[in-house]
Chains A and B, each alone.
Chain A
Amino acid sequence: MSIPRRFSSVHAWFQARPTFALVMLAISLMALPFLVGGGLGNSWVRVLDFVLLYMLMALGLNIVVGYAGLLDLGYIAFYAIGAYVYAWLASPHFGLHLPFWMVLPIGAAIAGVFGVLLGAPTLRLRGDYLAIVTLGFGEIIRIFMNNLNAPFNLTNGPQGINLIDPIGIGGFSFGKPFVLFGQTWPPTYLYYYLFLAFTLLFIVIAMRLQDSRVGRAWAAVREDEVAAAAMGINTRNVKLLAFAMGATFGGLAGGLFSAFQGFISPESFTLWESILVLCMIVLGGMGNIPGVILGAILLTVIPEALRYLGDMQRAAFGQVIVDPADLRMLLFGFALVAMMLFRPAGLLPSRVRKREFAARDGAREQEQSDLYDARA
């Protein structure tokens, strides 16, 4: 990852003291919700939780898009499947209240199965064709969720499913406020630590995967599928594995979302969510974990921060001229275009991608996979 020069001495200082850096990082991560909650208000702790949830999704999608080079525009479908499975197995909707340690893996596994089901027939398509098929799949799942309240009520249609059980261990529930230091803290604080644990786990898995035999196979398939097949890689299985693994991550994140919100409806699983997660990866730097993390933070926090535009307008003009919610998406669109025009490799590009972009001017002839193809 690239570090701006003026930070490099600080960076080196920390690099020389890895234990100290790790302890500092751990302490700041532990203290973060209290700092944020104290400084900006409790609603921002909730934003923090969503940052972590999106990070989970982005890390999962990064396996599919960043590692294996398969463009997936329907990723939110797997998140939706995980969320709905959790809601079915742990809410009054069917009267089932299974514990989360059973429900989360089931949801993740079902999402993974759907990943294989979608991937098996479509993975021989490449590039933007695959993108469109996955997009169609995402829409199909959403339309079914929206309409499967008849003839039997599976999803409760557009109203969604309510009163989903919060995550609890024994008698301890993450869904209730807790008392610490003589003060009562809302459940968003507890969920922060839970999500943080999952995020750290995902990061470790994703990093280990990248350096594993499978990870190298993914990179090979991404760079040149024909050459990879010639090297003895079973490209179909390798791509399916990426799809299934990304879907599993997505399903798990969906289950957590379901428990955290306590309410889900098809509205949470639109195409724009898929695009948002994809943009996090692209913005941060595809295939690079620090980049993906940065992308998830930026794209979750910035839209929230833009809510203040309403107050700013009121202060400046005495009234809200443009609804900040409308303005947010507009600015988001501009940011996407500007990003691609001025920094197409992302904010923190991976070393490989950076080399690809740098080499483009010199050696443009190089044959690469569809997605990364520099069109001569």
Chain B
Amino acid sequence: MDIFTQQLINGLVLGSIYALVALGYTMVYGILELINFAHGEVTMIGAMVALTVIGVVMGAAPDLPGLMMVAAGLLVAIPACMALAFGIEKVAYRPLRRAPRLAPLITAIGVSIILQNLAMLVWGRQYISFPPILPHNQHEFLGAHITDLQIFIVLISLLTMAILVLLVEKTRLGRAMRATAQSKEVAELMGVNVDRVISATFVIGAAIAAVAGVMVSAYYGLAHYYMGFMLGLKAFSAAVLGGIGNIAGAMLGGLLLGVIEALGAGYIGDLTGGFLGSHYQDVFAFFVLILVLVFRPSGLLGERVAHRA
């Protein structure tokens, strides 16, 4: 088995999930210049809600195909996350729109703590396992293995991203979002309801996060009240890597970060002569983040924020 191809595939699968979460960060940052710390937790809530629904469906109709059950989970998780993000924006961010920058950052951290602990109270401290309802057939591909689940994850990610790009590029709402990101004042003068656009941005990001949450828990077979935290940090790193505020950048950054992580974890042992092992996987995201911010603060595809860094 070819280790390089295998790690590349694993990295791309993981990376497509990072990319989905990164989209939520980048859209909000592009419009509000706010690091929405709670976004990782929204992803976690999405996974938890979907798992609960899947559990209920499994109990009620155990003969349904696995994909239908996951679809049912998504159908509940997506609106739940959308409502949650709408509420968060309204309560914790909107009143602080004109406050100093530190203020919404702190409320974002506060919301993040609240969501984590609420999830812990509701779903408990233990890991919740994702039932093995999705097909796990392995295929040979360029000398490496790829499972049905991995293919499924990549396809869903691509589909979600395509829908988002269409929405941003082709619809009225998308145009309003782009205008608001460029200048809130001018957009408002042109008749854009900026408050509504900002709400919509949060809600769309949360819907994507719900999809990502379900897929990440399906991929690892686990969900946990703390899972959103690291995922959120890495996704944010991915967004910065690609150029924050830039939708294509978030996708590219997510995929790249996934690949860097997988290859890094696969080769770090050989590179350092066994000094550092694959348990340093989580470090790569932060090293990449620091390197990007130091050498190319605007990210790979970003230009808009260059003057600010």
Chain A residues at the B interface, C-beta cutoff of 8 Å: 71, 121-122, 124-129, 131-133, 135-137, 139-140, 143-144, 147, 150-151, 275, 278-279, 282, 286, 322, 326-327, 329-330, 332-337, 339-341, 344, 356, 360, 364, 370-376
Inter-chain CA distance A278–B108, complex, in Å, is: 14
Inter-chain CA distance A275–B101, complex, in Å, is: 16
Q: A125, A371, A374: which contacts B98 (Cβ < 8 A)? A: A374
Q: How far is the CB of A226 from chain B (nearest CB, A)?
A: 12
Chain B, residue nearest A152 (CB):
B275
A336, B105: Cβ atoms under 8 Å? no
B92, A337: Cβ atoms under 8 Å? yes
For B101, what are the chain A residues with a Cβ–Cβ distance below 8 Å?
127-128, 370-373, 375
Inter-chain CA distance A373–B102, complex, in Å, is: 9
Q: Can you list, as one digit per residue, whether each of B107-121 has a CB less than 8 Å from chain A (1) or not (0)?
A: 101111110111011
Q: Which of B57-65, B141-149, B201-209, B283-291 contacts A (4 or more CB under 8 A)?
A: B283-291
Q: How far is the CB of A267 from chain B (nearest CB, A)?
A: 13
Q: Does B191 contact A (CB under 8 A)?
A: no
Additional A-B contact list (16), CB under 8 Å, known A140-B283, A333-B114: A71-B102, A125-B294, A128-B105, A133-B293, A136-B237, A136-B289, A139-B286, A143-B282, A144-B283, A147-B276, A147-B277, A330-B113, A344-B96, A372-B101, A373-B100, A375-B98
Inter-chain CA distance A279–B236, complex, in Å, is: 22
Most buried by A among B113, B237, B289: B113
Chain B, residue nearest A376 (CB):
B98
Q: How far is the CB of B47 from chain A (nearest CB, A)?
A: 20
B279, A147: Cβ atoms under 8 Å? yes
Q: How far is the CB of B22 from chain A (nearest CB, A)?
A: 13
Most buried by B among A71, A151, A360: A151
Q: Is the interface of B mostly helix, strand, loop or mixed?
A: helix
Q: How far is the CB of B284 from chain A (nearest CB, A)?
A: 10
B236, A344: Cβ atoms under 8 Å? no
For A341, what are the chain B residues with a Cβ–Cβ distance below 8 Å?
92, 95-96, 107
B35, A128: Cβ atoms under 8 Å? yes
Q: How far is the CB of A171 from chain B (nearest CB, A)?
A: 43
Chain B, residue nearest A328 (CB):
B117
For A129, what are the chain B residues with a Cβ–Cβ distance below 8 Å?
240, 293, 297, 309
For B121, what are the chain A residues with a Cβ–Cβ distance below 8 Å?
322, 326, 330
Q: Does B68 contact A (CB under 8 A)?
A: no
CB contact under 8 A between A337 and B107, given known A122-B290, A125-B309, A139-B282: yes
Q: B102, B112, B277, B297: which contacts A333 (Cβ < 8 A)? A: B112
Q: Is the interface of A mostly helix, strand, loop or mixed?
A: helix
Inter-chain CA distance A335–B110, complex, in Å, is: 8
For B112, what are the chain A residues with a Cβ–Cβ distance below 8 Å?
333
A333, B110: Cβ atoms under 8 Å? yes
Inter-chain CA distance A144–B283, complex, in Å, is: 9
Inter-chain CA distance A333–B121, complex, in Å, is: 14
Q: B100, B107, B309: which contacts A372 (Cβ < 8 A)? A: B100
Chain A, residue nearest B273 (CB):
A151
Q: A121, A127, A336: which contacts B109 (Cβ < 8 A)? A: A336
Q: How far is the CB of A341 from chain B (nearest CB, A)?
A: 6
Most buried by A among B102, B282, B289: B102
Q: Does B132 contact A (CB under 8 A)?
A: no
For A332, what are the chain B residues with a Cβ–Cβ distance below 8 Å?
113
CB contact under 8 A between A330 and B114, given known A133-B290, A135-B233, A322-B121: yes
Inter-chain CA distance A357–B38, complex, in Å, is: 26
CB contact under 8 A between A132 and B236, given known A275-B109, A326-B120, A340-B110: yes
For A374, what are the chain B residues with a Cβ–Cβ distance below 8 Å?
98-100
Most buried by B among A286, A333, A341, A356: A333
A-B contact list, 8 entries, CB within 8 Å: A125-B294, A128-B35, A133-B289, A139-B233, A139-B282, A337-B92, A344-B99, A373-B100
Chain A, residue nearest B34 (CB):
A128
Top 10 closest pairs, chain A to chain B, by CB:
A336-B110, A333-B113, A136-B286, A333-B114, A330-B117, A337-B110, A340-B107, A121-B294, A329-B117, A333-B110
Q: How far is the CB of B282 from chain A (nearest CB, A)?
A: 6
Inter-chain CA distance A189–B102, complex, in Å, is: 38
Q: Which of B263-309 contact A (CB under 8 A)?
A: 274-277, 279-280, 282-283, 285-287, 289-290, 293-294, 297, 308-309
Inter-chain CA distance A140–B101, complex, in Å, is: 26
Chain B, residue nearest A338 (CB):
B110
For B155, what are the chain A residues with a Cβ–Cβ distance below 8 Å?
none
Inter-chain CA distance A71–B102, complex, in Å, is: 8
Q: How far is the CB of A349 from chain B (nearest CB, A)?
A: 12
CB contact under 8 A between A333 and B111, given known A139-B282, A326-B121: yes
Q: A128, A139, A333, A376: which contacts B117 (Cβ < 8 A)? A: A333
Q: A71, A279, A337: which contacts B114 (Cβ < 8 A)? A: A337
Q: Can you list, as one digit per residue, whether each of B151-167 has a CB less than 8 Å from chain A (1) or not (0)?
A: 00000000000000000
